[in-house]
Amino acid sequence: MNIRHCNGGYTLSETLIVLVIFVLLISIGLNLYPSFTKGMENRLFLSQFHEDLFYAQQYAISHESLIYLHIDNTKKIYTVSSYKEGIVLERSIPEDIQFLSGTLGFSFHFNQYGNASKAGTIMIDTPKGKYKLVLNIGKGRFRVEKL
């Protein structure tokens, strides 16, 4: 009797090891996903806030009027407004992001030349770190930087 063994397949134990590794990788990825999305949401908000500041500045220049930015921590919104048109832009602030009063307080305005009414800082506290909005003197320059 001549019996041939074919060694071309995988054993049950090899298949189970691969499945266990696959399930572990999937479970680790699913546990990290909420933290990743929350961090991405915070970065997206900061980016949007920076772009809204540019918008307010450009709106003040193009309409030759004072444009006010006001941050309301109790209602969790910030607004861009003018006396002529009223509220131009209103956005909500995520619950886990807190604006802290720096040297600017919670409101300032851009004039018809795009310059801010006062120089200073506003602190932004997020779960992933602290940031600072800096308005420079003259030229209307500003930036949001990580501390």
What structural domains and CATH numbers belong to the chain?
12-146 (3.55.40.10)
Write the pLDDT tens digit of every residue in 84-142: 888 999 999 998 899 988 888 888 889 888 888 888 899 999 888 899 988 888 777 88
The SS3 of residue 102 is coil
User: What pLDDT shows up at residue 4?
Assistant: 64
Distance of CA 69 to the CA centre of its chain: 18
Sequence-separated (6 or more) residues with CB below 8 Å from residue 136: 116, 119, 142
Mean pLDDT for the chain? 86
In Å, how far are 14, 17, 19 from 10, measured between CA atoms?
A: 6, 11, 13
- pLDDT-based confidence at residue 24 (cuts at 50, 70, 90): confident
